Structure 1
Amino acid sequence: MSDKIRSVDPATIEMLEKVGDMSTMFSRAEEMKPCTFGSEGSCCRVCGMGPCRLGGKSKEGREKTGVCGATIHTVAARNLARAVAAGASAHSDHGRSVAMTFLAAAKGEAPGYGIKDEAKLMTVAGYFGVQTEGKTVQEIAVAVGEAALGQYGKQEGTPMAYVHRATEKRQQIWEDLEVYPRGFDREVVQLMHQTHAGVDQDAEHILMSSVRCAMADGWGGSMMATDLQDIMFGTPKPLRSEANLGILKQKDVNIILHGHEPLLSEKIVDIATDPEMIEYAKSKGAEGITLGGICCTGNEVLMRRGVGPAGNVLQQELAIATGVVDAMIVDVQCVFQGIVEASKKYHTKVITTNERAKITGAEHIQFEEHNAIETAKTIVKAAIDNFANRKGEVFIPDHKKPMIAGYSHEYIKYMLGGKFRASFRPLNDAIISGRIQGAVAIVGCNNPRTTHDDSHRFLVEELIKRDILVVMTGCAAQGAAKAGYMTPETMEMAGPGLKEICETIGIAPVLHLGSCVDNSRVLTVLTEVVREGGLGEDISDLPAVGIAPEWYSEKALTIALYCVASGADVIFGGVQAPYRGSSEMMRLTTEGFKEKFGATFEFLPTKEEILEATLNKIQAKRKALGIDTQKERVLFDMDMRRELNV
């Protein structure tokens, strides 16, 4: 075992000590050293003449190229582009599945699914240009579902519908740079075509096509997924839960919901909480049924149903090693093959449920939306029946923390302004006055090549003490929740200005905004803050930064590109730029992006450097806006209040 600190999470530390020599992501990361050429983006393997490893000089003193003559800049751009295409496909194919289920539900072909948020349905209908007057809710829902699915196959004409939700200034930038996404499928296919051997061999052109593909996800597939899920399952509102492996119960049937799509997991929550199923569990010797989440399926059922996160991505094998997980139900993304090997030492049933994702050695029960309730019953019964098969030592770390989740952008507006005057005006005013210095979104994954959860916790603590509001999604959010940073009590750690605002509104200084597709909520919040006025004309004017300090996934690269294209500075930490072998690509994503989009994409190796860069960016934006000095507070009388235009 190396001397490196593997995690700062006490439950993870205890589980790693307990499992000893069992193979985990942590131990395999120590055993497997990354390839230098691959990690720098300087290895090309898109054809049979290679693989070609670039870097350094040839015998003649020239820069090395591939057999075909491709430069390191072309190769690095291709590698990033293919990663972006995969990441965008993961999130947007999730959105497609949601749209298909949504449409089936609207047509009455998916029992168990329906419309829970009619108000949001009407709002989304407006985004798609669907006429609502004189139509029933079902008719509107069918039209919205068809319009959403139609976004995938668009070829030409007007860009994807949701890009018009951005500010006018940002839309003009996209039009001038020709990065408006046409249709999602076209952008992915075209990008993959461009990166085939002997096609596009201009690094900047490949990079801009990557941006357009990412845009089709951020302002398309992901944003649609969030909206349609809200309509079907309910727009999140704040609720209480608990986080970490300590939520598991030795005498209960424990079911882990893992992956990224909430379509089946929503029905599993319904079935597992049904009194009849609980009685079935008791008939098998259990006291009840406990559900826990991992990764973003966990975040989805947390945000709407209060199911506690058992952990984030690096804890999936460790959850099984507690010996009390009777079934781990998985769908797509970030579900690692190592869980099947781990399950062989214990009794856990690993059940795959999605046609896109099977794992050798796992049981497969196919989810179909038209039969979701019966599928959920079959899965929950399988978990209950497995309760009697537990073997080996049982060990549940006694670590869990209370948390509050469920902050949709709609509810944040409501908390700021009230039911009849919902508005971001109080937030804008707090930023303008300096009581809140700015906002940071800490998002993304965990990576065993960094210390698990360390950067997430460090940055949360350091930012809120400096009066910076933090919003979080994905595994980063789960990392902060496990540390206890998502309760109102956390305001005691905050600076005086942020603390005052949080006390007044009744929120924590760290807000859980949902799963990784819900980074679209961050874009929506930033856009609405701009439209509220007083903080510039565009997202690029705002004192706001996005950070992914422990990233690993291709999806993270896609998210970063669509956020930068939207005007938000993005900083990645831990693992360095996967295209750093190319000085041209490094320039294009920093100086080049700054010139084009008003924002940069940077990679910084340490949490301290990330913090310093973030603070500098926020203060630079405040100075540019002319709000870098503390404003004197004014007590408004009624006449002054009447003059307010909100």
Structure 2
Amino acid sequence: MFDPEHSLSVTQDADRLYAKAREDGIETVWERHTAQQPQCGFCDMGLSCRICVMGPCRVDPFGEGPQRGVCGADADIIVARNLCRMIAAGAASHSDHGRDLVEVLAGVADGTAKGYKIRDEAKLKKLAAEYGITTDGEDVLVLAGELAEAMMEDYGMRRRAINLVARAPQKRRELWDRVGLTPRGIDRETSEMMHRTHMGVDNDWQSLLLQGMRNALSDGWGGSMIATEVSDILFGVPTPRVTSVNAGVLKKDQVNIVVHGHNPVVSEMVSQACTAPELLALAKEKGAQGINLVGLCCTGNELLMRRGIAMAGNHLMTELILSTGAVDMMIVDYQCIMPSVGQAATCYHTKMISTSDKARFPHMEHHEFHPDNAEAKAMQVVRTAVENFVNRGRVFIPVEPREAMGGFSVEAILGALGGTPAPLVEAVKAGKIRGAVGIVGCNNPKIKHDYGHVTLTRRLVENDILVVDTGCVSVANAKAGYKMPEAAEMAGPGLKEICRALGIPPVLHLGSCVDNVRILVLLSALADALGVDISDLPVAGSAPEWYSEKAVTIAVYFVASGVTTHLGPMPPITGSMNVVNLLTSGLNDVVGATFAVEPDPEKAAVFLRQHIEDKRRALGLDARRV
């Protein structure tokens, strides 16, 4: 019997599969988290340092032990350095994802990326024009090559500013120039951040954090934005479509293939192979009724947005999905893939396949996908999955799937509004929509699975606040029923009226975690329509269950862009009250936005609502008491 009061998740499929995993003797992330208790307090506060071998060092937060590391670094320096290295790692991860896609675009242009093609010529031409490339009369493939080359330049250091910062409102760009935050090159800012945090370089905690913000902006307005835009060019601009979510999307009578990770370069080719007539015929021969491709984490979100592929779960569901015994193959690329999943799969018949030259995992067969061989590799591994169907043992699929709608790109949203943000602006001015919150981020075993996501979402939409989401939270909200137009009944009266009129849910799925940049583009359009900066808008960001370095970078580039952002778990910064005070209040004087930390989503909802009403009041709009 599902008991939400005494469970590790707010979802039935997670709890039932956790019980199954325990029955099967599978060690999950929750057991490993418990085994780590108590976790290191010095690390939790950001007060441990091991960037050189004069250490490792730690600073005593109570002033009774060492107050400086061997090199003389105090708490402020150590905490700032550690946080900045998290930002650099997160920026490198998403920006390198973008580079992979630019390389595929270049391969399409020169004919070496077999199986890939330009699916949206209009977006290619629009983006090329933003890069100053003449598009009139140009052959599409020539244009693709020129754009890929221009984007590669953004990764270097030959420009005063990366190209796509031009999309930000003028007031925001002027602020970045004034305080020295304009990103000059994607790789340059990450490299400089790592240089500054080397022992004996930048030992001013404030200048370290400013470079951390510039580094984050190089990802948000650079690497991640490039990744999203090139994905749209290669695989199509997402449009709203209905799909299914939760563990019930697995099928007993079909070959189940799960794609997990973040890179659509792999999952797109796998999706094509799953429809190949010869492989479908082989599946029938093996006793299956078809081939069922489903997603986990962000590569699943990429397929959902463009193909309507069903989503089996988010980050903390990975091992649990294997415990169904229904997964014939899991294909991974990179990011957010726990090294444990290969071991968990050895208890079942599941074949585990890794595909990236950057990411190998224990207990997985390695089949590298590259632009020139991805089409053939996809056919090979899908064939292996089909042949593995006959090796299944007991299958346990705990729930029925739930319908959800995804695919709300900026283009789709503006299209629904008649091609202009004006109707949305008018709804905000009229108070029917009080504001908007982007809820993003991961799952964290320190928090009840999906509780932070769905609780915060519920409290916001019922108070007429539009929610947009990406990544793992989008799966949580879909499972909770917020992703169909009928969910408008859960919204406040004003938001309900708008959703009914447009035929949309009160929570709009904008894609994978790299697609957080779609929120930046949408906010820029709204700010331009109102003639204000992003920091003036009645909007906010939130990451209720975040865990990764990428999430740190995302949060920082949102704040640096003018979006006050709530975090659930506290970052490892409490060892320095100077750093804490700057991030939670002082940044308001620098970039017009700040961080707020609140692990309780009920209290976080009150804070976010108050913030939105304060912004409405400053704009001369009606404001409610919260």
Match of 1:438 in 2: 435
d(CA) in 2 for partners of 1:30 and 1:272? 39
Task: Say if 2:454 is the partner of 1:452.
Answer: no
Alignment of 1:154-173 (within 5 A): 155-173=157-175
2:132 maps to 1:129: yes
1:32 partner amino acid: Q
Match among 48, 53, 56 for residue 43 of structure 1? 48
Tell me which residue corresponds to 2:292: 290
| Kept in 1: contact 2:12–2:399 (CA 8 A) | no
Query: Which residue matches 2:347?
Result: 345
Once the two structures are TM-superposed, the CA of residue 156 in structure 1 deviates from its matched residue by 4.2
Question: What is residue 643 of structure 1 aligned with on the other side?
Answer: none
Name the % identity: 46
Give the Cα separation in 1 of the matches to 2:548 and 2:397. Answer: 29
**CA offset digits 1:279-329 (Å, max 9, x no partner):** 111111211111110000000011001111100000111111100101100
- Residue 83 of structure 2 corresponds to 80
**Do the aligned partners of 2:614 and 2:623 also contact (CA within 8 Å) in 1?**
no
- The CA deviation at 1:612 is 1.2
Q: Distance in 1 between matches of 2:130 and 2:78?
A: 38
CA contact (8 A) 2:48 2:57 kept: yes
Which residue is 1:634 aligned to?
A: none
Paired residue for 1:302, among 301, 304, 313? 304
Instruction: Report the Cα offset of residue 570 of structure 1.
Output: 0.5
2:19 pairs with 1:9: no
**Conserved 8 A contact 1:85-1:192:** yes
How far apart, CA to CA, are the structure 2 residues paired with 1:415 and 1:53? Answer: 54
Is 1:389 aligned with 2:384? Answer: no
Distance in 2, Cα, partners of 1:236 & 1:58: 54
Aligned match for 1:600, one of 586, 594, 603: 594
Aligned partners of 2:578 and 2:250: how far apart in 1? 50
Separation in 1 of the partners of 2:212 and 2:377? 38
Equivalent residue runs for 1:319-398 within 5 Å = 319-391=321-393, 393-398=394-399
> In the alignment, which of 555, 563, 569 is matched to residue 568 of structure 1?
563
Cα deviation 1:535-563 (Å, max 9, x = unaligned): x5111000001000000010000001111
> Does residue 28 of structure 2 align to residue 24 of structure 1?
yes
Moved more, 177-186 or 522-531: 177-186
Corresponding residue number in structure 1 for 2:203: 201
Give 1:518 shift.
0.3
Deviation of 1:35 after TM superposition, in Å, equals 1.2
SS of 1:626's equivalent in the other structure is: coil
- Pick from 305, 310, 313 the counterpart of residue 311 of structure 1: 313
Residues 57 and 64 in structure 1, CA contact (< 8 A), matched pair in contact too: no
Give SS of 1:602's match: strand
How do 1:504-519 and structure 2 match up within 5 A? Answer: 504-519=501-516
The 2-side partners of 1:151 and 1:595 are apart by: 29
Q: Aligned ranges for residues 571-590 of structure 1 at < 5 Å?
A: 571-573=566-568, 575-590=569-584
The amino acid of 2:10's aligned partner reads V
Task: Sort the Cα spacing of 1:310 and 1:136 in 2 relative to 1 into closer, same or farther, 3 A.
Answer: same
1:641 is matched with: none
Q: How many residues align?
A: 617
Over aligned residues, Cα RMSD in angstroms?
1.3
The answer to whether the 8 A contact 2:91-2:553 is kept is yes
State the 1:629 CA deviation: 5.0
Amino acid aligned to 1:40? M
Deviates more, 1:182-191 or 1:324-333: 182-191
1:101 aligned to 2:104?
yes
Please name the residue that 1:553 is paired with.
Answer: 548
Is 252-261 or 587-596 further displaced after alignment? 587-596
User: Structure 1 residue 601: deviation in Å?
Assistant: 1.5
Report the residue type matching 2:537 in the other structure. Answer: L
Hey, what does 2:256 align to over in structure 1? 254
Distance change (3 Å), C-alpha of 1:443 and 1:56:
closer
Are the aligned partners of 2:566 and 2:598 in contact in 1 as well (CA < 8 Å)? yes
- Which of 444, 462, 466 is residue 465 of structure 1 equivalent to? 462
Aligned to 2:153: 150
The separation in 1 between residues aligned to 2:13 and 2:363, in whole angstroms, is: 28
Offset at residue 112 of structure 1 (A): 1.2
- Contact 2:566/2:595 (8 A) holds in 1: yes
Task: Give deviations 1:218-264, integer Å, cap 9, x for gaps.
Answer: 00000011001101110000111000110001121100000000001
Give the drift of 1:577. Answer: 2.1
Segments ≥4 residues shifted beyond 6 Å: none
Residues 108 and 141 in structure 2, CA contact (< 8 A), matched pair in contact too = no
SS in 2 for 1:407: coil
The runs of 5 or more residues in structure 1 that have no matched partner are 631-646
Give the Å deviation of 1:4. 6.5
Compute the TM-score of the two structures, normalised by the length of structure 2: 0.97
Contact 1:57–1:63, Cα closer than 8 Å, also in 2 = no
> What residue ranges of structure 2 are gaps of 5+ in the alignment?
none
Query: Deviation string for 1:608-646 (max 9, x for gaps)?
Result: 22111101100100000110259xxxxxxxxxxxxxxxx
Task: Tell me if the contact between 1:443 and 1:473 (Cα under 8 Å) persists in the aligned partners.
Answer: yes
Q: CA deviation at 1:69?
A: 1.1
Q: TM-score, normalised by structure 1?
A: 0.94
